[in-house]
Homo-oligomer: A and B are copies of this chain.
Amino acid sequence: MVVDRSSRLDRVFHALAHPARRAILRQLSVGERNLSELASPLQMTFPAASKHVRVLEGARLVRRRVAGRQHLCRLQAAPLRDAVLWTEQFRRHWEARFQALDALLEELKSEERLRPRRS
C-alpha cells in the first residue's frame, strides 16, 4: 500500500490537531484578523501563535496578505471540505441504525451457524 507522506490531507488533519489552531480558525470564521488579534486570546507568546498560523497556511487553511506592518489573515475553508469528505466515508459506521443492522445480521449468521438446515 502506497502511503503518500506529507499529502495535503496530512497537513490539514495535523493543522486541526492543536487547540490553539482550532481556536484561530474559529476566530477567522468571523472575519479577517491580523496576527496580534489572533495571538492575544491564546495563552502563549506571540511568536508561538505566529508559528501556529504558519502551520495553518501550510495546510492552505489560511491565506495572509501584508498591509504595512500588519499581516491580515483570512480563512480558506476548502481543505476542510476535503477533510470532511474523507471522514464521511465512515459515516455508516457511526450511525446507530447501521450498527443495529450489523448486530441483527451477526445474530442471524450465528443462528445459521449453530442450527444449519439439513439438506
Q: Which residues on A are within 8 Å of B, measured CB to CB?
A: 1-5, 7, 9-11, 13-14, 16-20, 22-23, 25-26, 29, 31-32, 41-43, 67-68, 72, 74-75, 77-78, 80-81, 83-84, 86-91, 93-94, 99, 105-106, 109-110, 114
- Are the C-beta atoms of B3 and A10 separated by less than 8 Å? no
A87–B106 Cα gap in the complex (Å)?
Answer: 30
Given A3-B42, A16-B87, A22-B86: 20 more A-B contacts, CB < 8 Å = A3-B19, A3-B23, A3-B43, A5-B19, A10-B19, A13-B16, A13-B17, A16-B83, A16-B86, A26-B89, A29-B89, A31-B109, A67-B110, A67-B114, A68-B114, A77-B99, A80-B87, A81-B91, A83-B87, A84-B84
Across the interface, which residues of B come within 8 angstroms of A84, CB to CB?
Answer: 84, 87-88, 91
Given the known A-B contacts A19-B3, A41-B1, are A77 and B90 also in contact in the complex, defined by CB atoms under 8 Å?
yes
